């Protein structure tokens, strides 16, 4: 019975790959903050702060989580800070080459003169149902 | 004590593997996954087949970390969803039936993760409340559109009050209070987090280690290619 418990315990931790990435990506409070933001639009500032802290921690410890710099850039874009957004999209592309084509496309559409092209990301577009409102 | 148990068990399992007497652990067939060799994953809008209208919205926040932690680049979940909405493919039913290669053109993703919420419910029967999440996961190649992995997780949680023996009426009341508390605030998110973790990381059935994991391409014995045993 005791041996069974030992095996189950070790198997559970091995099965969930717990030992593969000892430190792992720095997510900070991203998950909880996005969850609250998805329930109440008023939680956007807390979401932005959680992203800032996670990005900061990830940069300091060289374990920045995929997507978070872009998410932070998108929050900045939603509140009108286009240049802040662009530098974060550039940082995302640099940290993760997998995102480069998409990020560069977004940056190009933001840099295009107004009315020249339909932007890929348009914060003015009304959000769908149950969306956090900007 | 708990720690000691784990170490003891770990040594036991390692010696089992080393001595070669262990039976081959079960695994799905990863032939098509290995051929696609994805580096990046795009989470597409979650399809909600449950009766709970807010399920998909609240669930999105739990998806990226467990899959990224396997060693993949996961595209920014919230940003990409908004871009898909602007591109006219934000509707889950629409994007789930559209060709995956279209997403490859927009995002340059290697793979797209399609999650369907089959059930997301909390039911009270007499004085017991059970919360269930039932999720299906399919990964498709953004290059070919082919399915390269699938998984399904059904998890149920039923709170049990501390049965301290003694007065059966007291126990009955405690059980009823636990059921009411679960009914008022069902544990959907912890269940969904557990489901995602099991889907992504279970040996032989989750995602093999990706390029950001030290185990990348070194886990062919755990996630095997070939017929399912």
Minimum mean pLDDT among A104-118, B47-61, B187-201, B215-229: which range?
A104-118
Are B70 and B200 spatial neighbours (Cβ–Cβ below 8 Å)?
Answer: yes
Q: Where are the alpha helices (DSSP H) in B54-115?
A: 55-59, 64-68, 77-86, 92-97, 100-107
Q: Which of B72, B79, B197 to mutate to test the interface with A (most CBs of A within 10 A)?
A: B79
B197 with A16: Cβ contact below 8 A: yes
Look at residue B148 and give its three-state secondary structure.
strand
Q: Which long-range contacts (CB under 8 A, 24 or more apart) does A41-45 make?
A: A41/A132, A41/A133, A41/A134, A43/A132, A44/A75, A44/A78, A44/A132, A44/A134
In angstroms, the separation between the Cα of residue A84 and the nearest Cα of chain B is 15
Cα B229 to chain centroid distance, Å, stands at: 23
Of A11, A98, A121, the CB nearest to B39: A98
Q: What is the pLDDT of residue B97?
A: 94
Cα separation, B22 vs B35, whole angstroms: 28
Question: Which B residues, 76 through 115, put their C-beta within 8 Å of a C-beta on chain A?
Answer: 76-79, 82-83, 85-87, 90, 106-110
Q: What is the pLDDT of residue B46?
A: 95
What is the DSSP secondary-structure string of A75-109? HHHHTT-HHHHHHHHHHHHHH-GGGHHHHHHHHHH
Are B93 and B83 spatial neighbours (Cβ–Cβ below 8 Å)?
Answer: no
- Both tokens of residue B114? 């399609």
End-to-end CA distance of chain B: 37
Per-residue confidence band for B184, with pLDDT thresholds at 50, 70 and 90: confident
Strands B147-157 and B128-141: antiparallel
Of B70, B90, B214, the CB nearest to A128: B90
Residues B143-183: pLDDT tens digits? 999 999 999 999 999 887 666 667 888 888 888 888 888 88
Q: No. of H helices and E strands in chain B?
A: 9, 6
Mean pLDDT by 10 residues, chain A (134 residues): 40 45 83 92 95 97 97 96 97 98 96 57 42 40
B65 with A35: Cβ contact below 8 A: no
DSSP B60: G
- Both tokens of residue B144? 């070919």
Nearest CA to B33 among B152, B197, B154, B144?
A: B144
ipTM: 0.82
Q: Which residue has the tokens 């595209």?
A: B75
Strands B40-43 and B111-125: parallel
Nearest CA to A59 among A95, A100, A98, A102?
A: A95
Dihedral sign for Cα atoms in the order B62, B67, B68, B74: negative
- Both tokens of residue B139? 């990964």
**pLDDT higher than threshold 70 for residue B41:** yes
A14 with B62: Cβ contact below 8 A: no
Q: What is the pLDDT of residue A80?
A: 95
Q: What is the pLDDT of residue B17?
A: 47
A21 with B213: Cβ contact below 8 A: yes
Cα separation, A77 vs A100, whole angstroms: 18
Q: What is the pLDDT of residue B178?
A: 85
**pLDDT higher than threshold 70 for residue B139:** yes
Of B9, B62, B108, the CB nearest to A9: B9
Q: Which residues does chain A have within 8 Å of residue B68's beta carbon, measured at their own beta carbons?
A: 25, 65-67
Q: What is the pLDDT of residue B23?
A: 72
Where are the extended beta strands (E) located within chain B? 40-43, 47-48, 73-74, 111-125, 128-141, 147-157
Q: Which residue has the tokens 């886990």?
A: B219
Residues B65-75 have a mean pLDDT of: 98
Question: Which A residues, 51 through 90, put their C-beta within 8 Å of a C-beta on chain B?
Answer: 65-68, 70-71, 73-74
Nearest CA to B132 among B181, B190, B180, B188?
A: B188
Minimum mean pLDDT among B28-32, B53-57, B113-117: which range?
B53-57
Cα separation, B131 vs B51, whole angstroms: 13
Q: Report pTM.
A: 0.81
Output the CA–CA distances (angstroms, integers) from residue B209 to B3, B203, B213, in the order listed.
26, 10, 6
Residues B86-110 have a mean pLDDT of: 94
């Amino acid at each position: 019975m005791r041996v069974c418990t030992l095996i189950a315990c070790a198997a559970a931790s091995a099965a969930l790959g717990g030992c593969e990435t000892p430190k792992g990506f720095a997510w900070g409070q991203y998950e909880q903050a996005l969850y609250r933001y998805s329930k109440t639009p008023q939680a956007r500032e807390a979401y932005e702060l959680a992203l800032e802290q996670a990005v900061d921690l990830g940069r300091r410890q060289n374990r920045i989580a995929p997507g978070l710099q872009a998410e932070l850039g998108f929050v900045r874009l939603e509140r009108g800070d286009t240049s802040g957004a662009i530098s974060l999209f550039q940082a995302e592309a640099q940290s993760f080459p997998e995102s480069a084509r998409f990020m560069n496309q977004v940056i190009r559409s933001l840099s295009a003169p107004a009315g020249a092209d339909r932007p890929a990301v348009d914060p003015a577009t009304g959000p769908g149902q149950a969306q956090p409102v900007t | 004590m708990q720690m000691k148990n784990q170490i003891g068990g770990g040594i036991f399992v390692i010696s089992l593997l080393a001595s070669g007497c262990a039976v081959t652990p079960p695994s799905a067939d990863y032939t098509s996954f290995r051929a696609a060799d994805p580096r990046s994953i795009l989470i597409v809008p979650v399809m909600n087949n449950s009766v709970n209208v807010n399920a998909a919205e609240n669930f999105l926040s739990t998806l990226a970390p467990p899959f990224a932690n396997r060693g993949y680049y996961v595209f920014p979940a919230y940003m990409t969803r908004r871009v898909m909405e602007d591109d006219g493919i934000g509707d889950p039913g629409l994007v789930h039936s559209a060709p995956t290669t279209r997403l490859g053109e927009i995002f340059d993703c290697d793979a797209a993760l399609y999650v369907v919420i089959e059930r997301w419910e909390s039911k009270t029967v007499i004085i017991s409340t059970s919360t269930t999440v039932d999720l299906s996961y399919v990964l498709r190649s953004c290059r070919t559109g082919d399915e390269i992995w699938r998984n399904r997780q059904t998890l149920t949680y039923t709170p049990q009050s501390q049965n301290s023996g003694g007065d059966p009426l007291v126990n009955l009341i405690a059980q009823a209070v636990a059921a009411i508390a679960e009914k008022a605030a069902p544990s959907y998110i912890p269940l969904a987090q557990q489901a995602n973790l099991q889907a992504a990381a279970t040996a032989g059935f989750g995602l093999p280690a990706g390029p950001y994991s030290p185990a990348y391409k070194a886990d062919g014995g755990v996630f095997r290619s070939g017929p399912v045993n």
